[in-house]
Amino acid sequence: MTNIKCSFCKNPLRTDLVNFKKIPIANYYKKIINPTFTKYNLQIKVCKKCLLVQSTNKIHPKKIYKNYFYKSNYSKTWKKHCKKLVEEISSNNKNKKVLEIGSNDNTLLEMFSQKKWSCIGVEPATNIVKTNKKNKNIKIYNEFFSKKLSKNIIDKHGYSDYIIGTNVIAHAPDICDFFKGLSNLFNSKNVGIFEFQYLLPMIRGGFYDTIYHEHYFYHSLTNLNKILNKYDLKVYNIKKLDIHSGSLRIYVVKKNSEIKTSVQKNKLLNYEYKSGINKIKTYKLFKEKVEKHKKDLNFLLKNKLKKNLVCAYGAAAKGNTLLNVLQINQTHIECIFDKSNLKNKLIFPGTGIPIANLSLIKKIKPDYILILPWNIQKEIRDELKFIKEWNGKFIIPFPKIKII
């Protein structure tokens, strides 16, 4: 029996999705050799009543965002994705106002600013905000989004025409306060666009590397629909996205809006139902998939390739869970290459593996490179195609372990 209650409906949480035990916080790198990382229980459960998949040990966001290392600007795929979204929204709209929650390094807002839109951003990571280029068109609130902040924003700036949040609705531990705040930002005319890592492909594909402390929640449309409805909002359209190993974009309006619900939304709700999103068995199958994958990748890295020089690419959050769950250290992976200068020579959380500048690949000449952000593997393989010169190969960990 457990006393832990669902963050949304307060029903007792009894069904385990995974229990990875002690895992360090992702994106939390250290400078010294042999550092110790504080590790926290990473346990995910599903609520039988409202189907919200959630972490049971919510690390305070201040610990996570104190020194945040993720910058949107480093991924070409992400920049292209943002550009497409900006084009979609701004093609028939001039001089509008946009509010982005989780604006990071302003990658998206800078694009809107170029279209002469006025921009408001909310971003808690102070180290990121400090390094952002000054732009008088962009007003940043360097704090966590909350019900309180939503009121301040409306008082000062009025309603925005668009409210955008990419990979942010799963990152607020107090889900009720966050959605109450979100609801405050809507009037009968404006539109919200939110993208999040979609639960269904994760469950079906067994992509446990997308589970980490920063993600307090893992949403399906079925479950998010319930949450939004409670706060007087509704999803009127959806779009499936390939980004981040399967994401979903939802278009949101106030519940009383006259905008009609699209066929696509209803189709996806039906599809989720047929896929067993409301059956506990589906979540149990996920657990089995995770165990099988762990066994196979461990065998490859710790036995089969033991005598080879193996490195990894992409010191991102995704790799954090994977490498720590498998208990990989420098005896298995020599170093992790990364493009970001912020991370150069730092130690990857919990593993003791150093992060190396990309330029060192040609010197080190690894036999194998494990691509951690496998969702953008095409971009990475293209960038690193020169490893073929010494017959280097890539290991792609998901959807199926593959050597190319």
Q: Which residues make up the interface to Zn ion (CB under 5 A)?
A: 6, 8-9, 11, 47, 49-50, 52
Cβ-based nearer residue to Zn ion, 6 or 64: 6
240 and 198 Cβ atoms separated by less than 8 Å: yes
Sheet strand arrangement including 39-46:
15-24, 39-46, 53-55, 217-218
Taking the complex as a whole, the smallest distance from the CB of residue 76 to Zn ion amounts, in Å, to 38
Helix 147-157 × helix 175-184 angle, to 10°? 20
Taking the complex as a whole, the smallest distance from the CB of residue 54 to Zn ion amounts, in Å, to 8
Cβ-based nearer residue to Zn ion, 13 or 202: 13
Cβ-based nearer residue to Zn ion, 224 or 297: 224
Taking the complex as a whole, the smallest distance from the CB of residue 211 to Zn ion amounts, in Å, to 18
Spatial CA neighbour of 402 closest among 382, 379, 381: 381
Taking the complex as a whole, the smallest distance from the CB of residue 212 to Zn ion amounts, in Å, to 21
Cβ-based nearer residue to Zn ion, 11 or 330: 11
Using CB atoms within 10 A of its CB, is residue 382 exposed (0-12), middle (13-18) or buried (19+)?
exposed
235 and 254 Cβ atoms separated by less than 8 Å: no
Rounded-to-integer distance, Cα 119 and Cα 330, Å: 44
C-alpha distances (whole Å) from 280 to each of 49, 100, 204, 210 are 11, 35, 13, 20
Taking the complex as a whole, the smallest distance from the CB of residue 56 to Zn ion amounts, in Å, to 13
Using CB atoms within 10 A of its CB, is residue 282 exposed (0-12), middle (13-18) or buried (19+)?
middle
Cβ-based nearer residue to Zn ion, 17 or 323: 17
Cβ-based nearer residue to Zn ion, 23 or 52: 52
283 and 17 Cβ atoms separated by less than 8 Å: yes
Phi, psi of 355 (to 5 degrees): -100, 130
Cβ-based nearer residue to Zn ion, 126 or 222: 222
Cβ-based nearer residue to Zn ion, 154 or 176: 176
Taking the complex as a whole, the smallest distance from the CB of residue 349 to Zn ion amounts, in Å, to 30
Taking the complex as a whole, the smallest distance from the CB of residue 272 to Zn ion amounts, in Å, to 16
Cβ-based nearer residue to Zn ion, 47 or 168: 47
Taking the complex as a whole, the smallest distance from the CB of residue 157 to Zn ion amounts, in Å, to 34
Rounded-to-integer distance, Cα 250 and Cα 192, Å: 8
200 and 277 Cβ atoms separated by less than 8 Å: yes
Local structure of residue 144 (DSSP, 8 states): -
Cβ-based nearer residue to Zn ion, 8 or 313: 8
Instruction: For residue 240, list its beta bridge partners.
Output: 248
Strands 191-197, 247-254: pairing is antiparallel
Taking the complex as a whole, the smallest distance from the CB of residue 167 to Zn ion amounts, in Å, to 22
Cα 160 from chain centroid?
25
Taking the complex as a whole, the smallest distance from the CB of residue 317 to Zn ion amounts, in Å, to 26
DSSP E strand boundaries for 255-403: 310-313, 336-338, 355-357, 368-371, 393-396, 402-403
